[in-house]
Structure 1
Amino acid sequence: MNINVTELENRVGQYIQAVVTEHIVIEKTGNPIAVIMSYTDYERLNKFEEAFWASKAIEAEKSGYLGDKSLSELMKIKTLKDSQ
């Protein structure tokens, strides 16, 4: 479901209930700026992310060196994650 910021402000209670069954994309001037999801989905997403980074750490430890390209890609992802 996609809604704009004004719609969210006017019906926040309705959308808080809706996130139990679906994610809601918040738009501003037609561009997506945020997502509202249930806490259960948020926890599940975080677990997947933790598992991903754990597997990357294990790969790095086994290989001893990621290489410049892989390291740059991981740093970009980490920087984006930290800025959110």
Structure 2
Amino acid sequence: MKVFTALEAKNRFGKVIDAAQREPVTVTRQGRPSVVIVSAEEYERRQSRAWRNLLAVMEQTGRYAAEQGLTEEALDQLLADES
């Protein structure tokens, strides 16, 4: 992973963009990582993977709840009891 200081990133932004097209780039401030820059393609890939993972967990949770006998009515009652 390429690393640029904030000043380097500011002064050589074109190079930062070029590097981020190949791999994530870390920008540091005062010697500590501040941000990571990734290409738009990599960002979209990560977002898509995150959504797929979330949907899979939601489906698994729904199946488990159904197996345990949790119905829409029972869920409504549980939620109503909390208010």
What's 2:25 paired with? 24
- For the aligned residue pairs, the C-alpha RMSD in angstroms reads 1.4
Percent identical among aligned pairs is 23
How many residues align? The count is 65
Q: TM-score, normalised by structure 2?
A: 0.72
Unaligned runs of 5+ in 2: 67-83
What's 1:40 paired with? 41
Deviation of 1:47 (Å): 0.7
Structure 1 consecutive aligned stretches of length 4 or more whose deviation exceeds 6 Å: none
Q: TM-score, normalised by structure 1?
A: 0.71
Deviation of 1:35 (Å): 0.8
Deviation of 1:14 (Å): 1.3
Specify the structure having the higher radius of gyration (Cα): 2
Unaligned runs of 5+ in 1: 66-84
What's 1:71 paired with? none
The CA deviation string for residues 17-63 of structure 1, in whole angstroms up to 9 with x for no partner, is 22111110111112112111111100000011001101110111011
